[in-house]
Chain A
Amino acid sequence: MADKTAYERVKAARRPDKITTAELVHGLTTSFFEQHGDRLEADDPAIIGGIGLLNDKPITVVGIQKGADTDENIARHFGSPTPEGYRKALRIMKQAEKFHRPILALVNTPGAWPDVDSEYHGQGSAVAQNIIQGMQLKVPYITIIVGEGGSGGALALSCGDRVFMFEDSIYSVLSPEGYASIMWKDSSKVKEAAEELKLTPEALLEDGIIDKIIHEYEPGDDLSNLRSFLDQEFSELAELPIDELVDRRNQRYRNF
């Protein structure tokens, strides 16, 4: 809701009872086949990806999934992908390109997983590859930011033709806590930080960072409106010649 303060929006984006990426995948598609592994060294459970049918047409879905409880959250690193997770997402997206399937990316992450192993395994490089290769994918590519859109870890799956946000979601260069700490050396100034970051869907829409605000869906809600909307968006994008699709996508970011 637009009358929430920025900080209230941050809390709403992080609420644990939000609809999950997995629920969206299974609500939007039929015949979903989940794919695993980066074909290099691991299978990061923070990333879910696979093939499903959207209105009976094949699409590829990649998403960042938070855990429903503590155990699951530990396994999924609280929805913060490792480099292996980003590489898993990219290999699934490249496969979508081979089979001319458009890509739906669902983002809900505080950011890429910040630990020592992730550094050793090239977290920066993995995100960089997702960005540069993602921008060149020869298929329509749509992102929905479902909850948190934390920094580069979110951008890694948000370099497509359209970026949409749920009402209760945020997207920013870093967390309000991080911003307060870096800017004012005072992490208690989170509310002020949230305001300054302009991380609400309304602010981002006005700035042209995103294309549309999607009304919030709760767990168990009927998703047929969202399904029809995505079907229409993918159909429109699929009508463009591939070169023009990729040109327009790159232009989209050239403008900032």
Chain B
Amino acid sequence: MLRSRFNMPSHEELVKRMDAIPDHILRECPICHSTFFSLRAGTSKTCPNCGYGFRITAKRRAKITFDSFEEIDKQMTVPEQYKDEKYLAKVKKAKKVTGINESVLTGIGTLDKQQVGVGIMDPFFVMGSLGSATGEKITRMFEEATRKKLPVIMFTASGGARMQEGIHSLMQMAKVSGAVEAHSQAGLFYAVVLCDPTTGGVTASFAMQGDVILAEPHALVGFAGRRVIEQTIMQKPPKDFQSAETVMEHGFIDAIVPRKEMKQTLKQLISLHTKEQGYGR
């Protein structure tokens, strides 16, 4: 996995901090380092100072983003061929923390009564890594959306390919890409929301294939991790080289949208792409 948050607490530590802690606890923003009472981050869990959206579970994101959400392929999980005990223990723990069985939550959501195919990656499920079942769930969701002629909204948050599943993890990048293209060929709309962190194989596939690509403020977006770059070619990257803001300057993001405005922006985009009335077809 390509782990590369600057000064970021460990995954386990973050999980602990997230939902379990009471609201009166002080917390620190990993981006601007301001401290504030947890309560002030509100239901959207954003830094009141710089707008950074703290990592949240897929289930919470579904709740704060969509008017309604119906999960599909709920039981799908790591295939039985993987028997490594350390890996399975990690997966078991992840299921408990996130309340889902793989690193992506998929389903059909609604925004202003319009149905949309939805995929939300969970950064607390083995770093949101792309396992075989993750890819399968996303692929099926795209296929379902294509059949039903629905737009798709995909929230990405991932450390990249899942090393424990080897080459099969890599193949998910191609499999999902095929489903994205079939959806696109059907003339349907696909919006991506890049969340913190979106890296590696996810960036190198469906995260960068959207018709419109949004990002949350200060989200880390990149391909190779900082340490990989430092250790492979001995180059020291600038501090913000993989912040969403930098990536946008380089041409890969349409807009950076604070989490509190995300629902409204998605409604606007979905409405613009599902108007009954138009010029011609």
Instruction: Verify if A176 is at the interface (C-beta below 8 Å from B).
Output: no
User: What's the Cα separation between A42 and B265 when bound, in Å?
Assistant: 23
A95 to B281, CA, bound (A): 15
Q: Are A41 and B279 in contact (CB under 8 A)?
A: no
- Tell which of A36, A40, A52 touches B248, judged by Cβ atoms closer than 8 Å: A36
**Residue B9 at the A interface, CB < 8 A?**
no
CB of B271 closer than 8 Å to a CB of A: yes
Choose the segment among B164-172, B221-229, B250-258 that binds chain A (4+ C-beta atoms closer than 8 Å).
B250-258
List, in ascending order, chain B residues with CB within 8 A of A33's CB: 212, 255, 265, 268-269, 272
B280 contact set on A, CB distance < 8 A:
100, 102, 139-140, 238-239
Interface size on A (CB < 8 Å)? 34
B254: which A residues are within 8 A, CB to CB?
34-37
Q: Which B-chain residue is minimally distant from A95 (CB atoms)?
A: B211
Q: Is A41's CB under 8 angstroms from B272's CB?
A: no
Q: Closest residue to A236 on the B side, CB-wise?
A: B279
Question: Which DSSP category, helix, strand, loop or mixed, fits chain B's interface?
Answer: loop
For B, the interface residue count at a CB cutoff of 8 angstroms equals 25
Question: Within 8 Å of chain A (Cβ to Cβ): is B42?
Answer: no
Find residues 152-205 in chain B having any chain A CB closer than 8 Å to their own CB: 184, 187, 189
Give the one of B189, B272, B280 with max A CB within 10 A.
Answer: B280
Chain A residues lying within 8 Å of B250, measured Cβ to Cβ, are 37, 41-43
Determine the distance from Cα of A101 to Cα of B275 in the docked complex, in whole angstroms.
11
Listed A/B pairs (26) with beta-carbon separation below 8 Å: A36-B254, A37-B250, A37-B251, A37-B253, A39-B252, A40-B251, A41-B251, A43-B248, A43-B249, A52-B272, A56-B277, A57-B275, A57-B278, A58-B273, A58-B278, A99-B187, A99-B211, A100-B187, A100-B278, A100-B280, A100-B281, A102-B280, A139-B279, A235-B279, A237-B279, A238-B280
What residues make up the interface of B, taking CB atoms closer than 8 Å to A? 184, 187, 189, 211-212, 248-255, 265, 268-269, 271-273, 275, 277-281
